[in-house]
Structure 1
């Protein structure tokens, strides 16, 4: 039995540009839903749905402060994405080296 597993895939959560922009905002400071909504041309309900997905993926943490809920970034799950990208990095380096050799040979 898997315990404490995120309900949403981290990759799926960051696949949406709005959610990626929300993560950037929350990396700077803790914000309420109202503050976050001011940065996007979508409704508060839509912002709340995006935050719910990010929360289920473990990418944001929420806490109640009086009558509002405030959100902050939890960057730890992003390590999964970084590890995945790092795995392919040597392929990119290899392809760029081949391209460089090709361009240099073509110019001679």
Structure 2
């Protein structure tokens, strides 16, 4: 699967949910996880989030109508050591964090 960025993520419906697979300081560490997700349906989004303690990179997977659907989809995730099971987040909340990061530049 291809890895999309904030521009594509910004077009998703804010009321939907995504699954955050990982949040890391160094996006280079996500290579193994991205490769493991390559055969799964759904797009991956790599988002840069500006936090009070510096920049973080979140790898998000796909979009779901509601939190139950996002939670249920976690059973499809690969059994990766680096994978912290994934946690559902409302897309609109992440979109707001990206917008804040862009405003701070």
The structure with the largest strand share of the pair is 2
- Which structure has the bigger radius of gyration? 1
Regarding TM over 0.5, the answer is no
Which structure would you say has the larger RCO, counting Cα contacts within 8 Å and 6 or more residues apart?
A: 2
* TM-score computed with the length of structure 1 as normaliser: 0.29
